Amino acid sequence: MTNIASSSGTFDIGGDLPVVRLGYGTMQLPGEGVWGPPKDHDTAVAVLRRTVELGITFFDTADSYGPETAEQLLKDALHPYADDVVIATKSGLTRQGPGVWTPLGYPPYLRQQCELSLRRLGVDTIDLYQLHRIDEAYPLEDQVGEFKALQDEGKIRHIGLSEVTVDQIKAAREVADIATVQNLYNLGNRSAEDVLDYCEAEGIGFIPWFPLATGQLSKEDGPLADASRDHGATPSQLALAWLLRRSPVMLPIPGTSSLDHLESNTEAAGIELTDEEYEKLSSSVD
């Protein structure tokens, strides 16, 4: 089973940075509450190395995952990076303990975090740098403006946003080109439908976080149990195949700390849903 992810097709981030659409999210790698080192460092490294063998080229991470742990693991496992590996990291959320996330959009802090991510990842330019949250304590223009300055200096290639409304994307686009948007979206939670439609119309990559609803959609006895039996695929595979089918700008980044789950989830890239299956899934879970 090699290069299976490529069956999901490619998308050009910012019009010039190709990624295989089915990617991988690193948030499950650090310890409990996305805090501290992984349960087992070697397994985390093995999972990351297997992603590449499976043809995955797009990795989502953040300075706050651990914090620092997920970026460090990417470097431990994959550096020097293959030419087609694209790493998307983020700044804008600080950490005070397990499960605690506090926005901070003070522009000099965002710049500091970019510098530290460059160092941790071992790169000269971050492929895609995402503002994890817009911090209402600072003007949006100043936060996106700092990203634009970093881009002009060659420290980041493309700019992305996370958890934003269509109006916020439009406001950010007054300041800089926005290549991607990362919002909560999955078969069971489609509250960002308007954002997805806007992204599709504008050729902006849409990265759905919680593509498996943190595992709720993966359960054998969960909402996809019947469809899973009918198709002969796992619930996770169907949830991911549905996302890939939903829009050509969709870039799912399922997270897992398990080699078995990684291998099984990646097979979703090759699953073709019939129109009837797609419609049935669309109306069965929402």
Ligand X SMILES: NC(=O)c1ccc[n+]([C@@H]2O[C@H](COP(=O)([O-])OP(=O)(O)OC[C@H]3O[C@@H](n4cnc5c(N)ncnc54)[C@H](OP(=O)(O)O)[C@@H]3O)[C@@H](O)[C@H]2O)c1
Residues classed as catalytic: 65
Query: Token pair for residue 116?
Result: 């530290």
Q: Which of 130, 163, 11, 147 has the alpha carbon at shortest distance from 63?
A: 130
Query: Token pair for residue 56?
Result: 């995955």
Query: Which CB, 1 or 153, lies closer to ligand X?
Result: 1
CB of 275 to ligand X, least distance (A): 25
CA–CA separation, 145 vs 166, rounded Å?
18
Query: Which CB, 120 or 153, lies closer to ligand X?
Result: 120
Query: Which CB, 87 or 212, lies closer to ligand X?
Result: 212
CB of 59 to ligand X, least distance (A): 8
CB of 60 to ligand X, least distance (A): 4
CB of 81 to ligand X, least distance (A): 17
Query: Token pair for residue 221?
Result: 């006895």
CB of 266 to ligand X, least distance (A): 10
Query: Which CB, 69 or 162, lies closer to ligand X?
Result: 162
**Using CB under 6 A as the criterion, which residues of the chain lie in contact with ligand X when the complex forms?**
25-28, 60, 162-163, 182, 209-215, 218, 236, 253-258, 261, 264-265
Residue nearest ligand X, Cβ-based: 255
CB of 48 to ligand X, least distance (A): 12
Secondary structure string (H, E, C) spanning the chain = CCCHHHHHCEEEECCCEEEECCCEECCCCCCCCCECCCCCHHHHHHHHHHHHHCCCCEEECCCCCECCHHHHHHHHHHCCCCCCCEEEEEECEEEEECCEEEECCCHHHHHHHHHHHHHHHCCCCEEEEEECCCCCCCCHHHHHHHHHHHHHCCCEEEEEEECCCHHHHHHHHCCCCCCEEEEECECCECCCHHHHHHHHHHCCEEEEECCCHHHHHHCCCCCCHHHHHHHCCCHHHHHHHHHHHHCCCECCCCECCCHHHHHHHHHHHHCCCCHHHHHHHHHHHC
CA–CA separation, 209 vs 254, rounded Å?
8
Query: Which CB, 51 or 265, lies closer to ligand X?
Result: 265
Query: Which CB, 110 or 154, lies closer to ligand X?
Result: 110
